[in-house]
């Protein structure tokens, strides 16, 4: 427990001292607040032509999937710093070992993403969100945080490349759009994006909800296992 406290304080300090990292972390909250203010106003103006309220649930899902990507970018930058400063090499000879250090570094933020997701739901509470369907999906959302972090830390050599790769990861936000807007079977072309299965599960019902959730869980788990393996190989 003492090791966890020490590592937690170290991680928080390394993030807080960089204002850009703090800004990235709070982007989903800012977006949620902005939409909470703007959407009812737009709905009032467009009510005679277009019913925006039909899309409130989708907008909520979209804002939620932003959270893991932003948090993953922050942890990814942090891992790049660790690699540049040879901290991972040092940790390999400590009782915690490299694997234990990495396990904490990329999985501890999952808790923060869960808290952030709940805050977003409390802020952007203007749609008829089905909490019973959504809460199991928050676990998949949390799994995306270490996935994004490991993707960036594995394929980027430095922070400049990391920033470029972070922008490229933004493509994954297209997943919910494939799920919600494309007709019939065409929408499954977005199944390569982990975010697709979160949106697809939420708008499914009955056993289809469970099926899509399981597909999403297996996909996230396999990608995490593969990226963790590649990152450790690159760090050796």
Q: Is it the case that residue 4 has pLDDT exceeding 60?
A: no
Structural domain for 51, as ranges: 2-235
Give dist(CA 42, CA 48) in Å, integer: 11
Which has the higher per-residue pLDDT, 139 or 160?
A: 139
Counting the structural domains of the chain, the total is 1
Q: Which residue is associated with the tokens 């804002």? A: 63
- pLDDT for 9 equals 67
Q: Is it the case that residue 143 has pLDDT exceeding 60?
A: yes
Work out the mean pLDDT of the chain and round it to a whole number.
Answer: 83
Give dist(CA 229, CA 106) in Å, integer: 13
pLDDT tens profile 18-73 = 788 888 888 888 988 888 888 888 888 877 777 787 888 898 899 999 999 998 88
- Predicted confidence band of residue 232 (pLDDT cuts 50, 70, 90): confident
Is residue 199 within a helix (H) or strand (E), and if so which, with residue range? helix 194-202
Q: pTM to 2 decimals?
A: 0.86
- pLDDT for 7 equals 61
The residue among 2, 124, 149, 11 whose CA lies nearest residue 71 is 149
Give dist(CA 154, CA 76) in Å, integer: 9
- Determine how many CB atoms are found less than 10 A away from the CB of residue 121: 19
- Predicted confidence band of residue 201 (pLDDT cuts 50, 70, 90): very high
């Amino acid at each position: 427990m003492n090791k966890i406290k020490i590592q937690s304080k170290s991680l928080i300090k390394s993030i807080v001292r960089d204002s850009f990292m703090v800004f990235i972390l709070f982007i989903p909250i800012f977006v949620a607040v902005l939409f909470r203010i703007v959407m009812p106003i737009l709905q009032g103006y467009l009510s005679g032509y277009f019913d925006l309220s039909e899309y409130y649930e989708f907008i909520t899902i979209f804002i939620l999937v932003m959270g893991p990507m932003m948090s993953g970018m922050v942890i990814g930058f942090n891992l790049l710093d660790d690699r540049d400063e040879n901290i991972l090499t040092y940790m390999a000879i400590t009782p915690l070992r490299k694997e234990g250090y990495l396990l904490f570094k990329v999985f501890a933020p999952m808790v923060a993403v869960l808290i952030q997701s709940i805050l977003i739901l409390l802020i952007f509470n203007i749609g008829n969100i089905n909490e019973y369907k959504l809460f199991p999906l928050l676990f998949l959302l949390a799994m995306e945080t270490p996935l994004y972090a490991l993707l960036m830390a594995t394929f980027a050599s430095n922070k400049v490349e990391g920033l470029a790769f972070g922008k490229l990861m933004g493509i994954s936000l297209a997943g919910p759009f494939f799920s919600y807007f494309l007709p019939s079977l065409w929408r499954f072309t977005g199944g390569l994006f982990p975010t697709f299965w979160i949106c697809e599960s939420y708008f499914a019902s009955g056993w289809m909800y469970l099926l899509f959730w399981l597909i999403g869980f297996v996909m996230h788990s396999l990608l995490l296992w593969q990226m963790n393996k590649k990152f450790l190989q690159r760090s050796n």
